Copies of this chain bind each other. A is one copy, B any other.
Amino acid sequence: MKLKKKILIHDIAKHLDVSIATVSLVLNGKAKEKRISDSLAEKVLKYVEEVGYKPNQLAKSLRTGKTHVIGLVVEDIANPFFATVAALIEKKLLARGYRIIYCSTNGDTAKTRDLLTMFQERHVDGYILALPDGVESDVRTLVRSGKPLILFDRELAGVLANAVVVDGEKGMYEATQHLLEQGFTSVAMVTLQAGQAQMQARLQGYSQAMQEWQLPEMVLELEFQQEREQIIHQMQAFCQANPTCNALLFATNYLGVYGLEAVNGLGRRIPEDLAIVSFDDNDLFRLYSPSITVVAQPLEAMAESIISTLLSALEGSQETGRITQLQLAPQLIVRESSIRVPQKARPRASRTKT
C-alpha cells in the first residue's frame, strides 16, 4: 500500500504545476473567496485525494495557532460519572472535528496546576474542566487569556466562567424530604471534606430539609482521597456512634458504593434498619438488592450543554466576554432502599406516598 514517502504540499503543487498558495487555498476552502476557478479547485482536490495527501497538522497549528484539540480535566476517569460524561463529550466533539486530551487530577491541586500548564503548552483550543478547589487564580488567569473554557460538575469560588452544573442542593433537598416523608427521621449525610462547590451545595440541600423539619443534622465528613478500607471503617464507626440513625445520604457515587459495603459489614438490613440514598446513578445502584434510591445527574444533557457552550465560544459566534452558566435539575429516582417497610415485605418498585 501507500508507502511512507511523506508527500508535501510542495509536491502536489509541483505535480499540478500550480503554486503552493493555490493548493493551500483550495484545501482550506478559500477557493471561492480568492476567485480560483472551479475547474482548477476540483483538479487540486482530485489529485490530493488520489495521492492521499494529508497536511501536517503540526505545521498548520504552528502557523494558525489552532490545534483542534480540547483539554478535558476530570477528577478521575475511572469514576463512572466522569467516564460516562467523557465518553459522551468525546463522541460529540469528534463529530465536529475536535480531539480530546484528557487527564485526571485525583483531586491534587499541584497536579492540576501542572495539567493546566501542559494543556497551555500544547496549545489546546479549549478547556473542559472539573477541578479541585485551590486553583482559582490559575483558572482566572486562563479565563483572562481568552481561550474558550467551560467548568462542569463544579464551579470555582470567585471565578467567573462558563459553567454547567447540576443543582445538587435541590437534589439533596428532595432526597432528604423523601426520606423524612417515608418516616426516616434520623437522617445522616455522608460527604467529603473537600471545599468543592458542588459538595457544599449537596450538603446545603440536606441541611435545609432537616431544618424545615426541625431535626438535628448528623454529618460525617470524610477526608478526601482516603483508601477504601479507611472510608468503610469510618462509616461503620459513625453508624455505631449514632445508633438512632436510620437513614444515610451519600453525597457522591463512590461514597454510596463504599457505604453499601459498610452497611453489609455491619449486618444492617436495607431499608429495614437503615434507608439509603446516594447521589449519582449507576448499574450497581440499579441492580443491587434492594435497589438503591438515587439522585441521578442528567449526563446526556450535561454533555450536550458543555459541548454547545464550548463550540459557540470556539467558533466565535458569540461576543467574547459573554458567559453562559447553566444549572441542570437532577432527578430523584425512588427505589427500594428508601421505602419504609410496614411490617411485612413490600412488593418492590417505587411509590412515594406522602
| A94 touches B (CB below 8 Å) | yes
A29-71 CB contact bits vs B (8 Å, 1 = yes)?
A: 0000000000000000000000000101111011000010100
Q: A84-B78, A100-B101 are in contact. Are A2 and B141 (CB under 8 A)?
A: yes
Nearest-CB distance from A348 to chain B (Å)?
Answer: 8
| A15 touches B (CB below 8 Å) | no
Q: In the complex the two chains form, is A264's CB within 8 Å of B287's CB?
A: yes
Distance in angstroms between the alpha carbons of A104 and B87 in the assembled complex:
8
Distance in angstroms between the alpha carbons of A2 and B257 in the assembled complex:
43
Distance in angstroms between the alpha carbons of A57 and B122 in the assembled complex:
6
Which residues on B sit within 8 Å (CB–CB) of A353? 345
Instruction: Tell me the chain A residues, 284-299 only, with Cβ under 8 Å from chain B.
Output: 284, 287-289
A1-29 CB contact bits vs B (8 Å, 1 = yes)?
A: 11010000000000000000000000000
Distance in angstroms between the alpha carbons of A352 and B290 in the assembled complex:
10
| A349 touches B (CB below 8 Å) | yes
Which among B4, B62, B102 is the interface contact of A62 at CB below 8 angstroms?
B62
Distance in angstroms between the alpha carbons of A77 and B104 in the assembled complex:
13
Instruction: Tell me the chain A residues, 74-105 only, with Cβ under 8 Å from chain B.
Output: 76-78, 80, 83-84, 86-87, 90-91, 94, 99-104
| A118 touches B (CB below 8 Å) | yes
Distance in angstroms between the alpha carbons of A73 and B113 in the assembled complex:
26
| A312 touches B (CB below 8 Å) | no
Q: In the complex the two chains form, is A87's CB within 8 Å of B80's CB?
A: no
Instruction: Tell me the chain A residues, 233-271 only, with Cβ under 8 Å from chain B.
Output: 257, 260-261, 264, 267
Instruction: Count the copies.
Output: 2
Distance in angstroms between the alpha carbons of A137 and B1 in the assembled complex:
9
| A145 touches B (CB below 8 Å) | yes
Distance in angstroms between the alpha carbons of A122 and B97 in the assembled complex:
13
Distance in angstroms between the alpha carbons of A103 and B288 in the assembled complex:
31
Q: In the complex the two chains form, is B78's CB within 8 Å of A86's CB?
A: yes
Which residues on B sit within 8 Å (CB–CB) of A324? none
Which among B58, B100, B103, B345 is the interface contact of A61 at CB below 8 angstroms?
B58
Nearest-CB distance from A344 to chain B (Å)?
Answer: 12
Which residues on B sit within 8 Å (CB–CB) of A78? 80, 83-84, 86-87
| A121 touches B (CB below 8 Å) | yes
| A315 touches B (CB below 8 Å) | no
Which among A57, A91, A106, A267 has the greatest number of chain B C-beta atoms within 10 A? A57
Q: In the complex the two chains form, is A69's CB within 8 Å of B101's CB?
A: yes
Distance in angstroms between the alpha carbons of A333 and B109 in the assembled complex:
37
Q: A77-B90, A86-B78, A104-B87 are in contact. Are A257 and B287 (CB under 8 A)?
A: yes
Distance in angstroms between the alpha carbons of A64 and B120 in the assembled complex:
19
Across chains A and B, which 7 residue pairs bring their CB atoms closest together, nearest first? Answer: A78-B87, A83-B83, A284-B284, A58-B62, A78-B83, A78-B84, A77-B87
